[in-house]
Amino acid sequence: ETGVTQSPTHLIKTRGQQVTLRCSSQSGHNTVSWYQQALGQGPQFIFQYYREEENGRGNFPPRFSGLQFPNYSSELNVNALELDDSALYLCASSLNSYGYTFGSGTRLTVV
């Protein structure tokens, strides 16, 4: 079985730019959730997609948006990047929010 793959692994962007991060879900999983992990902190829930619909959102502004595709892969889009958006972005897939498989993360640096 395939795991969860995130791309790119590292990314440097300038303040004000837009970024798209990608995540492939594990085979057989239908739910993808995204997390932001600042340095030295635990991950914070951004949002979750279930069967292509957003079905939960954390305390993040609307400039954080996402998509889930029919093959259950997902994208996280962040517009108008701010310096505080610099973090490790993790995605996890699951089957109906049961038993999570995590990707290795995308480290985003905003300068």
Partner 1 sequence: KNEVEQSPQNLTAQEGEFITINCSYSVGISALHWLQQHPGGGIVSLFMLSSGKKKHGRLIATINIQEKHSSLHITASHPRDSAVYICAVTNTDKLIFGTGTRLQVFP
Q: Which two tokens stand for residue 51?
A: 């069967």
Interacting residues of 40 by C-beta distance below 8 A, sequence separation 6+: none
Regarding 56 and contact with partner 1 (CB under 8 A), the answer is yes
8 Å CB contact between 62 and 77: no
With respect to partner 1, which residue has the nearer C-beta, 80 or 106? 106
Instruction: Tell me, by CB under 8 A, how many residues bind partner 1.
Output: 26
Q: Which of 24, 26, 35, 93 binds partner 1 (CB under 8 A)?
A: 35
Say if strands 53-57 and 44-50 run parallel, antiparallel, or are unpaired: antiparallel
8 Å CB contact between 49 and 32: yes
Chain length of the chain: 111
The Cα–Cα gap between 40 and 46 comes to: 18
User: What are residue 37's DSSP bridge partners?
Assistant: 88
Q: Which of 68, 74, 76, 105 binds partner 1 (CB under 8 A)?
A: 105
What is the contact mask toward partner 1 in residues 58 to 77, using x (rule: CB under 8 A)? x-------------------
Regarding 14 and contact with partner 1 (CB under 8 A), the answer is no
Regarding 55 and contact with partner 1 (CB under 8 A), the answer is yes
Regarding 11 and contact with partner 1 (CB under 8 A), the answer is no
* Residues making contact with partner 1 (CB under 8 A): 33, 35, 37, 40-45, 48, 55-56, 58, 88, 90, 92, 97-105, 107
